[in-house]
Chain A
Amino acid sequence: MRIDRVGLADLARGAAFLGSGGGGDPHYGRLLAQAEVARHGPIEVVALDSLPDDALVAPCGWIGAPTVSAEKLPNGREAAAGLRRLERLEGRKIDAVMPIEIGGGNGLAPMIAAAQLGLAVVDADGMGRAFPESQMAIFNIRGLSACPAILTAASGSTILIEGSDNLAHERIARGVAVAMGGIAHMVEYPLTGAQARENAIRGSISAAIRIGAAIREARSGREDPFGALFDALRGSGLYGHAGELFDGKIVDLERETRAGFSVGRVIVEGFGGGEQLELLFQNENLIARRAGQVCAMVPDIITIMDRETADTITTEKLKYGQRVKVIGAAAPRLLREARALAVVGPAAFGFTESYRPVEALNGWERD
């Protein structure tokens, strides 16, 4: 599969949905990738199974504050510099890149280097959605090391982090990103082909493209974009169940910053009045309660969308009065294993409710 200009726009739309309210607006990521594709031609996407066991695969992403990234834009050579540094360290060539996180702006992150260096992008990622911290990647959950990891600033400065503690890595990387001006490119969790095949979230890039294309085509054919979205998710083989959790208007919104995270609560009220949905977020949407009953919880995907256009509204863009649909989708299977739920399940975010799948909570099992 090759990704061209239109494919990148579809990927951006799909990645925004998979961000579950977080991951940042992929607008700039799309523009950057489109500019590189215009210079270097389309990007090759390969399946996980095509990787040799001893291939070197480098997950890429941006770390820092989305607000800063809207002002201080990349130089464009950060990813290539980080990847070259990894190659020198490993004494060999990188065979392929992948997004560390498919959700939000990072879903587009590896496309820039892939276009510049002629590298293939693996149809997979490390989160299957968006999460706020590096150690929430499936690779940490499954015991792989984040290091060596390389951060690169727009100036070209690079920092190498080595060590065995993935939590310490996340804290150091966060601090380095601040020192680099609030945003930096990071190559982390370098993988062998075998490790990638066994642990990565399989098929998430093609799923995101499929989601974005479905919404685009439904809009241009004046069909229901939500019906098309659900069909695309169910047909993706990765996000097997999906549906509408709620339809209404935002009638209350509270937010504050705690330890660098945007934490808050949004209330959506049905148009007939009466029934409400309460959604709690910490950068990403974490738990939805409809009429007081939990109807979706992390790591399942909960995304608020404009009810007319099916544009994803990230948590930082939520506003009082917006007319929205709240959409739920099943998380990839790997995120629902017990060892994953310990790191990215409700308890990891401080909720006392134990995890129940979104399809069980909404009677979607037979969809």
Chain B
Amino acid sequence: MRVGVDVGGTNTDAVLMEGEKVVAWTKCPTSPEVSVGVAAAIDAVIGKAGIERQSISSVMVGTTHFTNALVERNGLDRVGVLRLASPSGEALPPMTDWPADLASAVGDAVFLLPGGYEVDGREIAPLDEGKIREAARDLRRKRISAVAIASVFAPLNAGMENRAAAILKEEHPDASITLSSAIGRIGLIERENAAILNAALTTLAGRIVVSFESALRDLGIAAPLYITQNDGTLISAARAAAYPVTTIGSGPTNSMRGAAFLTGCRDAIVMDVGGTTTDIGVLTSGFPRESSIAVDIGGVRTNFRMPDVLALGFGGGTRVHLDPALYRSNRLDESSLRIGPDSVGYRITEEAMIFGGGVLTASDVAVAAGQARFGDPARLPSFSPAALACILTRFRRMLEEGIDRMKTSREGATVLAVGGGSFLIPEPLTGASRIIRAPHAHVANAVGAAIAQVGWQVEQVVNYDSVPRATVMERLRAEARSRVIAAGGDPATVEVVDVEEIFLSYLSGRTAQVRVRAVADLGSGFAQAEVRGEATSGVIDAH
């Protein structure tokens, strides 16, 4: 049996799953020390199911903790940056466009060193081992042990980054090194930014992962721990400690993947209504549609594969601003009513009227209108049907506009309603051909974590004039599949889920950058295998 946990800003949700069945679930408040809430949630589902701890085969956790640290500039390490690109790139040193407060938290130990590759695989300049040793000794003297290394076209050839890391380690054995090739794609500045952010999270990530592991140990669970990544696949706890930045967008991904699993729908719009926001995302072939624009994390531009999510300021705890004198009005003026964007958040169980508080929230209105049944309806003031209808119409319009902004065709979309506040989604809804509310949809995010898969991405620059396109594609698909199986995927479930082809215009011939991504369910040998979600790459016959 597997345990899936999703740590959100308000709640920590957990589910216990056996095969495709949800055996038990829980929602606990998120604790300031996240591992305490995680332990409580896991303990609760085990208790509810009444099972032996030894029967748990794996624990998967999705957490927003690292994102919050970057946004709040909290607990970050100073970072040494080695860029292997000179003489190219010197005009734009690392962290050029960063917010000043984040740049100063991370420090200015930057080294512009010879190296990097051309798009055709030649070296821009040979690696200068002496200069790398010098930089390593300098960092060691400054007691900076978090290091980011980025070389030009590293996604196509990681050779120089690997070599530089080995030399650095010889001079500075305590260094924790992030290689850009392990986490990013084409786009030097964005990939280097991601590597630096990752390095800045080194100490924090190590501490969090250790705290999760000791929480599991204290619970008497010997099963391996995995962390979910932005793309819905898993990495081992050890690898998450080394590459925390790859996990920061996993929340919406888990909720969408969980929704797809619970409903069996692979193409749909997912509306995840929480306490403060509604996240609207799009599933295509069972996976979240990715954002096409540069993803900004803590004010820094990166090029992560992140789900394309529209966040509306509307959730169960959203405040409904309306003069109590108008609650019984028969003709409510639109301008006297405002919905949010403020929310009572996790204080809903004290502040909402149905719980005896004095704040009118979206949940109170839903209960008053009979859309939901919880809390104590007797504590609600009385509303005129016109006032209720007016408020509900505004709720409806916000959601309908959100669907319209995300959907890609004129036809109505299937909408999967998930999250603790999904009772706020009315039926029918313009833009939705049907709305599916699956059992356990309120913990879809934890289900998404529990069913997360193993993934692998292969990325290469190819010239179709020297190798036929069909041959290249077949070779890359085969490599992606075998890599996933080697990483612990169940061979029976391996699937190529994404093929992306970017033509390099203005280069001679038909040169393209091709990415192939394959995923698989966890195989039985998974517990022993090191899960690696990174890309492999190279250049095929480019000139």
Contact = CB atoms under 8 A, between A and B. Distances in A.
Same complex for A and B? Answer yes
Interface stretch (A51-59, A223-231, A251-259, A352-360): A251-259
A67 interface: yes
A178 B507 contact: yes
A71 B505 contact: no
A323 B505 contact: no
A257 B510 contact: yes
Contacts of B510: 257
Given A154-B124, A182-B119, A269-B410, A36 B91 contact: yes
B138 interface: no
Given A72-B116, A323-B405, A66 B92 contact: no
B153 A260 contact: no
A31 interface: yes
A59 B506 CA distance: 20
Interface in B115-134: 116, 118-120, 122, 124-125
Contact of A73 (B92, B292, B405): B92
Given A70-B186, A251-B409, A317-B292, A75 B87 contact: yes
A257 B506 CA distance: 9
A320 to B, nearest CB: 6
Contact of B503 (A73, A76, A256): A256
A67 B502 contact: yes
A210 B144 CA distance: 46
A192 interface: no
B188 A72 contact: yes
Interface in B398-427: 404-405, 407-410
A77 B510 CA distance: 31
Contacts of A65: 119, 504-507
Contact of B186 (A32, A67, A155, A249): A67
B85 interface: yes
Given A71-B188, A75-B88, A323-B405, A35 B119 contact: no
Contacts of B439: none
Interface string B10-21: 000000000000
Contact of A72 (B93, B119, B289, B503): B119
B513 A67 contact: yes
Q: Chain A interface: which size bin?
A: 35 or more
Main DSSP-derived SS at the B contact region: loop
Contacts of B118: 72, 181-182
Interface string A322-348: 110000000000000000000000000
Contacts of B153: 71-72
Most buried by A among B92, B119, B505: B505
Contacts of B508: 174-175, 178, 260
Interface string B55-98: 00000000000000000000000000000011111111100110
Interface residues of B, number: 44
A181 B503 contact: no
Contact of B188 (A73, A154, A177, A269): A73
Most buried by A among B89, B189, B408, B507: B507
A322 B513 CA distance: 23
A302 B55 CA distance: 63
A316 interface: yes
A77 B502 CA distance: 30
B519 interface: no
A36 B92 CA distance: 9
A257 B503 contact: yes
B125 to A, nearest CB: 8
B158 interface: no
B44 interface: no
Given A35-B92, A77-B91, A271-B404, 13 more contacts: A35-B93, A65-B504, A67-B502, A67-B513, A70-B186, A112-B91, A174-B506, A178-B508, A255-B503, A261-B506, A316-B505, A319-B292, A322-B292
Interface of B: 85-93, 96-97, 116, 118-120, 122, 124-125, 152-153, 186-189, 289, 292, 404-405, 407-410, 502-513
